[in-house]
Structures are given as C-alpha cells and as structure tokens.
Amino acid sequence: MSLPADFLWGFATAAYQVEGATEQDGRGKTIWDTFCTVPGKIADGTDGSVACDSYNRTAEDIALLKRLGSTCYRFSLSWSRIIPLGGRNDPINQKGIDHYVKFVDDLLEAGIVPFITLLHWDVPDELDKRYGGLLNRTEFPLDFEHYARVVYKAIPKCKNWITFNEPWCSSILGYSTGFFAPGHTSNRAKSQIGDSSREPWIVGHNLLLAHGRAVKVYREEFKPTDKGQIGITLNGDYTYPWDPEDPRDVEAANRKIEFAISWFADPIYFGKYPDSMRKQLGDRLPEFTPEELALVKGSNDFYGMNHYTADYVKHGDGNPAPEDFLGDLSTHAYSKNGDCIGAETQSFWLRPNPEGFRGLLNWLSKRYGYPAIYVTENGTSIKGENDLQEPEILNDEFRYKYFYDYVNAMAKAVSEDGCNVKGYMAWSLMDNFEWAEGYETRFGVTYVNYADGQQRKEKYSAKKMKEIFDAVIEKA
C-alpha cells in the first residue's frame, strides 16, 4: 500500500480565512467583509479583519510549513487586493500583486510547491453591487477572465492553478440557504432578496462559464510557455443507502453525489448536466449555448477534490420542494439497521468515515475516466476543542487519527484500486476564520491564540503529518 515517490502533500488555507489586513495596502471590500457586518450572520459576531494576520506573517507561515515537512501549499488570492473594485476596466493595485509574487518566490525558495486558488468565495463587493456579482451571466465571467489573466501574467512561476473553490457552496449556501455571503434566500425572515428555487442554479452555471474562460486564457496564452496545469476544486460527501435493500435509497445515494459534484463535473467532463438534475429542476437549470459548451467541456487538467465526510441517504417522496437542492432525499448519521457514519465533531455536517474517502475516490475515478486528482482539502474539527485551554488544546489526537485513517484509505485507493491521486492538502495549516461559524470552530493542525497576538503553536497532528506520509510514500 503506497503512494508514488513524487506524491505532493501539505496544507491548505484561504485568503479571507487567514490573511486579515483587510484595510491594508489598497485592498477593496469583498462580499464577506459586507456580510460579516450584518448582525446574526456570523456565530460569534466576528469577521476576518485580523484572522491569523497571515498577510503580515508570510515568513512565519513558510517557516511553519517547512518545519512540518510540507512539499506543497494551497492558498487563495484575494481578488480585491489585486483589482480592488474587481472589474476589467478598474484600476489594478500593484501592491496586491507584489505581495503574492514575493510569497510565491519565497515558497519556491523554501522548496514548497504553490497551488493557487483564484477565488475562494471572496467576490469583490463592488461587482455584487454593480451588476449582481455571480448572478450575471455576461459580466462576471468576463471580469473573472480578466482578473485571471492579470494574475497568470504576474506569477508565471506558479504551475498549479485552481479557478474556484467549491462552487456548490457559493451557489447553495450563498444563494439558496443564505448561510454564506451574499446571503440570498427565499426565506424572508433571513433576507429581503433571493429566490432559492432559481438563483443557485444560475450562479452555478455562471461559475462554470467563468471557470471555462479562465482555463481557455491559461491554455492559450500562458500554458505553452509556463507549462503549468489548471482545474477546479469541487466538494462532496460520499454516500451510503440508508436501506441498502431498497433500490430507491440506492438510487438516491447516487443522486446526492450527482447533485453535489456532477452538477459541475459532468459539464466539464461530458458537456451536460446530470439527467437526474434536469429531471427534477427542468428549465430552472440553465441550458448551455454552443459557445458556452465549447468553453466548459474538457476544461480540467486535473480534478481538485475537497472531501470531509459521508452520509446515509434516504429517498424522498417524489415531490421535492422548489428550493430542494439535495435531489429529493434526506441525509442521516445512522442507517436503517443502526450503523453510524462516525463520531461527532464540532461541525454538525462532519463525521469521520475514511472508507467513504476511498469510496468517493473510486466513484469519481470510474465516472470521469481516472483523471489526475489532487485532494485540495480534507480534515476535521473536534467537538469542544475551542473550549479547551493550553496545553490540552494542543493534544488533538482525534485529528491525528482522522488524518492517519484518511491518508491510509487514499493510499489504498491508489495502490489497490488504481485511482490517480497526485497530491493531498490537509485543511488546515492553522485554526482560522471558519466563515459563518466565526472562530468557534477550529480545523487547524496549528493552534492560533486569537487573544494573544495570533501566535501559532503546533498541535500533535501537525508534528505527526510527516510521519503519516513517510510511511505510505515510496522512497525515490
């Protein structure tokens, strides 16, 4: 059971979750800066204005990565640092570009391979106000294409690009449930604007178009000289039928993955939305024009996989509500015969299930022709971790066991099942701003003391990661 000698492993973060410095060096506002000011949207009433202060601590973060043995690091750029207003005719902020150019140089000097995400949910606020942001089928893809071109030109040394992080979250949590910025939902108790039955499907479509445009630019204008690769990162859980004897549950378990992942992956690999989605959503799911299809189909050099957990799935009654986004089904922690997915964590949606990781790697590989896969996020929170003090909070054996089990499940998927996994980035390098959950939920292998100058201290899991990978990566 082993991973190839050139397998990359490391950690992942995202700009708004770790950088802080939101008013520094000409950065513009993002939809998350605005969303965080709305009372009740963030669990502890906080925001990302300071976070881990990583914008001012790049040397410290790189030293940490090096100490832990990482061979790669995934981070995202703040679009609004580079083009503060976001648009293709708006001024470019050289200070923002310079920051990331130096960061990439410093990572490479430390022997760490950078993976850059162009957009990890923090859309420039001005674009949302100007034309509806992600809801605009024409303007948003053009502005994203322009931003991508500016960045590719500035950072030719980066060879691994990710267009979007988890478009499912931007679409569903941002435009259906309203839990994430910009907070649109049909629930008028939560928002004055939004249509949960239509907007998420429009947003998903527009993100695919913007992805396709950014990939076309890279392939035509930069890839011939820079020799890099580009893809998108999609999130999804593995599923098991609640009652494996009931064909309707078996079908629903498969359908849930289609609604979460194939929504984006099928157009990229096959040039069409899944039949199960078209059947349920009808004309609420946009149709690709021939021009759009030419942009989207075949637009992945690799598959970026974010994965955390699994669910038992029970079929619905055949009459899903207009705002249903799961696929006429319900998810459960226990199966019909009482089997449990895994232990509780601090995150209501996450229970460890390493077999599900191997299962989903196989599901994706079989459906999409065994593409190169980079696991761009995988990790866990721990129930009650934020209530602990030092030194107890540093002893995260639960997280260590999660990583050990998941990495070994991945190694089996590669060596025994033939999945083509090329790299793995754990979420996350450090505790950070966990979006709507604020700072109450921690995912880091490194403890961040927000009350005492954002100082970092490695937890047990951080110190064990190299050992976990050394045991499964073939010696060169």
Known catalytic membership, residue 245 = no
Return the closest-CA partner of residue 223 out of 215, 212, 233, 213.
215
Q: Tell me the three state secondary structure of residue 412.
A: helix
Q: Taking the chain, what is the end-to-end CA distance rounded to the nearest angstrom?
A: 15
Given a contact cutoff of 8 angstroms between Cβ atoms, the answer to whether 285 and 201 are in contact is yes
Given a contact cutoff of 8 angstroms between Cβ atoms, the answer to whether 160 and 166 are in contact is no
- Non-local (6+) Cβ contacts of 385 within 8 A are 346, 393, 396, 442
- Non-local (6+) Cβ contacts of 162 within 8 A are 74, 115, 116, 117, 118, 230, 231, 232, 233, 304, 376
Given a contact cutoff of 8 angstroms between Cβ atoms, the answer to whether 203 and 264 are in contact is no
Known catalytic membership, residue 166 = yes
Reported as type and span, the H/E element at residue 376 is strand 373-377
Catalytic-role residue among 19, 145, 166, 458: 166
Reported as type and span, the H/E element at residue 302 is strand 302-306
The token pair that represents 328 in the structure block: 């006429």
Rounded Cα–Cα distance for residues 459 and 331 (Å):
32
User: Looking up tokens 């445009």, which residue turns up?
Assistant: 213
Rounded Cα–Cα distance for residues 402 and 382 (Å):
10
Q: DSSP letters along 53-106, please?
A: -GGG-HHHHHHHHHHHT-SEEEEE--HHHHSTT-STTSPP-HHHHHHHHHHHHH
**Where on the phi/psi map is residue 165: left (φ > 0), alpha (ψ -120 to 50), or beta?**
beta
Rounded Cα–Cα distance for residues 236 and 265 (Å):
11
Catalytic-role residue among 377, 385, 437, 458: 377
What amino acid positions are annotated as catalytic residues?
166, 377
